[in-house]
Amino acid sequence: MTTTRRSALIGLGGALALCGCSRGSSRDDAPGRDVVAAGSPAALLIWAVARERLAGWPRRPQPADLSALPPLAADLPELGGLTGNSRQANLETIAALKPRLIIDYGDIDPEYRALADRLKTRLGLDWRLIDGALTRIPEAIRQAGGLLGSGSRADPLADEAAEALERWRRAPPGPGFYYARGADGLETGFRGSLATEVLEGAGWTNVAEGSRDIGRVTREQVLAWDPETLVTLDPGFAGSIQHDPVWRARRNGERRRLVLLPGRPFGWIDRPPSVNRLLGCAWLADPEGSAATLAALSRRLYGAAPVEAAQPRWIA
C-alpha cells in the first residue's frame, strides 16, 4: 500500500473515532445514485458497469474531461474520497446520502480490511473491496456487475477486457522508455511501479530506477538513463520539448522518440489506476491497427468514444 493511501486510511480512522452517525442501511426506494466510490479507481469501475448508480465523484473530473463523457458525469457532485489522495470525504455527508453500498477498488491490505470493517459497523454501510490488480480487471468488472445488478453490461465488457489483456500479454518487446509525468516531465514512475505497469507488462523496459513508486528526478538523470522513447500524457510537455535537443537527442546521435498518450477523460497508463488502463493495454497490443478496438472499448468504459481526440501520437 502506498504512503498516500496509508495516510488517507489513518485520517479516516480518526474521523471514524469521532463519528457517531450510525444508521441502518435499508432503503425502500428503487436503486438510484446509491453507490459511493471510496476513491477514484472505484468511481471509474462503477461508471463503467453501472454509471446510473454512482452517487458522486471522489474527485470531480476537470471540465475538459467531463466534456468527453456523457452529460450525467457533469451532474454528479464531488464527495471527496474515503481512500486515496482525493479531498477527504465528510462521513456525515456520506451517511446522509443513505447509500446502499460503498465500493473500493485497489490494494488488498489487512490494515485496510480492518478499517473497512470498522466503517461498516459504525455507519451501518455495506463496504466491498475489489482487487485492483491490472491483470484481474475482468474479474473486477464481473464482481462489480454482480454487486450492482448490471451483469448484462458488465459481462460483455469483462469478456472484451480479457481479450485485450491476453493480446497485451503477447505483445512483442518494446523500447526502453522514460514515463514523463507532469508539466515539466520530471516526475516519473520507477521500474516496477503501478504507474508504469501497463508499459512494462507489454515488454517495454523502464529505464528509471528508484526506491519508490513515483518520484521526482532531474534532466541529468534522464539523459544518463538515455531512453529510446519518451512517454507522456501531458500535451503541454510534449509540445514544449518537441524541438528541444536536450530532451530529444540520444547519446548515439539518434533522435529520441516521443509518444503522447491520451489523458482525457482519464489516462491510458495511470491517473487513476483503474479500468481506464485497458485502453493503454489494447493500444500496446496492436499499435498500428487498434483504432476500432479502442473506439468500442471507450464506448463500453465511458458511454462515449472520444476516439478522434484520444489517439496516441508519435511526435516527430
pTM of the model: 0.89
Q: 202 near 168, Cβ under 8 Å?
A: yes
Looking at residue 72, what DSSP letter applies?
A: H
Around 245, how many Cα atoms within 13 Å sit in the side-chain half-sphere? 3
Distances (CA, A) of 202 to 46, 180, 189, 248, 293: 26, 18, 16, 24, 17
Please, what are the domains in the chain? Answer: 31-158 (3.40.50.1980), 176-315 (3.40.50.1980)
Burial class, 152, CB count within 10 angstroms (exposed 0-12 / middle 13-18 / buried 19+): exposed
**In 205-233, which positions are buried (b, 16+ CB within 10 angstroms) versus exposed (e)?**
ebbbebeeebeebeeebbbebebbbbbbb
SS3 293: helix
**In 110-140, which positions are buried (b, 16+ CB within 10 angstroms) versus exposed (e)?**
eebeebbeebeebbebebbbbebebeebbeb
pLDDT by 10s per residue, the chain, length 316: 444 454 445 345 545 544 545 444 444 444 689 999 999 999 999 999 999 999 999 999 999 999 999 999 999 999 999 876 667 898 889 989 999 999 999 888 787 777 777 777 777 888 899 999 999 999 999 999 999 999 999 999 999 999 999 999 999 999 999 999 999 999 999 999 999 999 999 999 999 999 889 999 999 999 999 999 999 999 999 999 999 999 999 999 999 999 999 999 999 999 999 999 999 999 999 988 778 889 889 999 999 755 444 789 999 8
